[in-house]
Structure 1
Amino acid sequence: MKIYHRYYMPNTYNYKTLYLIHGLGEYSGRYVNFIKQLNEKGIAVYTFDLPGHGYTSGKKGDIENFYEVYSFLENYVQEEYILFGHSLGGLVATRFVEITEKKPKKLILSSPALGDIKQLSWLLNLFSIFPTLSFSNRINPYDLSTDEKACEFYEKDPLVHDKITVRTARQMFDEADIALNEIEKVDIPTLLLFGEEDKIVNIEEYKKIKNSNISKISFSKGKHELFECIYNKNKFYDKILEFLK
């Protein structure tokens, strides 16, 4: 599996290393502004495009096997690192921490897709004999952020798409259930950040998390992408940087 990846280095030799995993239908290049904030604080950022996303090859929205992604991460991450995942990337990051021996020092989850996130499960069952069949992921760009300009950029970005295949959706639903059921395996300091008005993932599932290693912080008026939120962007950054000290 060939994965497109990139890195952004700070202007210092004494830096921390963070790996960033993007969400469904998008790609790592959307995080440049967030990455600049991290670079300015002496944090190097390594990131990549998931299969079927961004510059990584494959049918749009098709992740053939999530465990191949975990295997990629196993070989990609170095020692002494921090892991950040947003939405689907938060699910991938959570599951990776649950199964790997190469655990990060800290984990940051931004609006992670955990627990019961099933939508149109009857449709997936109906079309299960067509695993690579594509359909819309039904993400409304204007449900992503309180910043309408950011939503417009998302909608017009040629590398953003709304596709997902049957097998990717089925795996995502299954892995999200497993991630929440095995959340006690997350045995490192973890910060979970989410908006109280998020309609993309099921934030009610976060109430089931009883792991003392995981600190949950909610943001009033916040939607799915807090890093693009006109009310909470600075607070979002501050909470992360405080956690990384």
Structure 2
Amino acid sequence: MGDDESDFIRNADNQKIYVRSWVPSCDPVAVLYITHGVGEYGGRYEQLGVYLRDNNIAVHTQDFVGHGKSDGDRVHIDDFQIYVRDVVQHIELLKAKYTNIPVFLMGHSMGGIVSTLFAIQRPELINGVVFSAPALLLGAGTFTRGLVRAVAYFVPQLVVRKSDPSVLTRDPDEIRNYMEDPLIWRGGLKAGWVTAIFDAQLQVANGVSAIKLPFITLHGTADTMVDISSSQFLMENTQSEDKTFERFEDGRHKLLVDLDRERFKQVILDWLNKHITSSQ
């Protein structure tokens, strides 16, 4: 067992960013920093946080600006570099606290883009990356992207896409939990945010070949929100010599709440333990 903590920090724009952690009562052997998906928030990773905490790994996360309990226009941003900047700030604070243990980064879906950009730009701050269905590939054609950009120029707050929570999991209880959570944004994706993710995906495409860090990517074969080819893209386009692709047969988008969640957590723990040892 250990301590579950939450607090606020101020980002470079003086916005309050809600942060939380699951920390073992004894000295942890490593830190995992989780970056969440669009519309959700860090607290949605509690079951993974508690699981790793009970295995002597400290888990930290934040609610991205515009998400959960953090300040900001709901699920709207001009540039994904703001997300990256806030994660860099928080991890630098954590590295000052945890001076002698490895720090790993985890990114789910949208958080996978943030984590990839982090790994490209600030690899010296982390020892490896865990990807969960990273949304790295442009899912729209040139015409659609141009149309969304035009809409975003005039009406950036216009909702251009809504999602069905059944794409996240096959577990009806988890779908119900998602629909009843008041901190989840269910208002759909805005044109301005969609344009920002297009730009971030282009940045990933241009920079991903620079990644040399160890990583694992976990993806469900039945993910209709982020195609599994996104994880294959990471495997084929990075310089990393230590990289693993773990497929979950029939798994949907958010494996942490899907039917094979116990295997998902165990695979992450096993990978972390292996790389904690190699980092020492």
Both structures adopt the same fold (TM-score exceeding 0.5): yes
Question: How do 1:96-175 and structure 2 match up within 5 A?
Answer: 96-118=118-140, 120-130=144-154, 132-135=156-159, 137-162=161-186, 163-175=188-200
Unaligned runs of 5+ in 2: 1-12, 96-101, 274-280
Compute the RMSD of aligned alpha carbons.
1.8
Q: Larger relative CO (CA 8 A, sep 6+): 1 or 2? A: 1
Contact 2:105–2:130 (8 Å) recurs in 1? yes
Counterpart of 2:52 (choices 38, 43, 48) is 38
Contact 1:192–1:215 (8 Å) recurs in 2? yes
**Percent identity at matched positions?**
27
Q: Show CA shifts across 1:4-46 (max 9, x none).
A: 1122211212431111111001111111111110101111111
Aligned counterparts of 1:156 and 1:33: Cα–Cα separation in 2? 18
Contact 1:131–1:165 (8 Å) recurs in 2? no
The aligned counterpart of 2:35 is 21
Equivalent residue of 1:182, what SS? helix
Q: For structure 1, which segment, 148-157 or 75-84, has the greater mean C-alpha deviation from structure 2 after superposition?
A: 75-84
- Shift in alpha-carbon separation, 1:132–1:51, aligned structure 2, 3 A: farther
Equivalent residue of 1:142, what SS? helix
Equivalent residue of 2:131, what SS? strand
The aligned counterpart of 1:6 is 20
Aligned counterparts of 1:63 and 1:99: Cα–Cα separation in 2? 20
Counterpart of 1:205 (choices 230, 238, 246) is 230
Aligned counterparts of 1:144 and 1:165: Cα–Cα separation in 2? 20
The aligned counterpart of 1:178 is 203
TM-score, with structure 2 as normaliser: 0.81
- Shift in alpha-carbon separation, 1:72–1:205, aligned structure 2, 3 A: closer
TM-score, with structure 1 as normaliser: 0.92
Counterpart of 1:91 (choices 101, 104, 113) is 113
Q: Show CA shifts across 1:190-213 (max 9, x none).
A: 000000000111222333331343
Contact 1:98–1:186 (8 Å) recurs in 2? yes
Aligned counterparts of 2:177 and 2:86: Cα–Cα separation in 1? 30
Q: Does residue 1:189 correspond to 2:214, yes or no?
A: yes
Q: Which amino acid aligns with 1:220?
A: E
Aligned counterparts of 1:44 and 1:14: Cα–Cα separation in 2? 6
Aligned counterparts of 1:200 and 1:219: Cα–Cα separation in 2? 15
Counterpart of 1:215 (choices 230, 234, 244) is 244
Contact 1:115–1:181 (8 Å) recurs in 2? no
User: Which structure shows the bigger proportion of residues in helix conformation?
Assistant: 2
Max Rg structure? 2
Q: Does residue 1:226 correspond to 2:255, yes or no?
A: yes
Aligned counterparts of 2:146 and 2:263: Cα–Cα separation in 1? 39
Aligned counterparts of 1:108 and 1:237: Cα–Cα separation in 2? 11
Q: How many residues align?
A: 244
Deviation, 1:122, is: 4.6
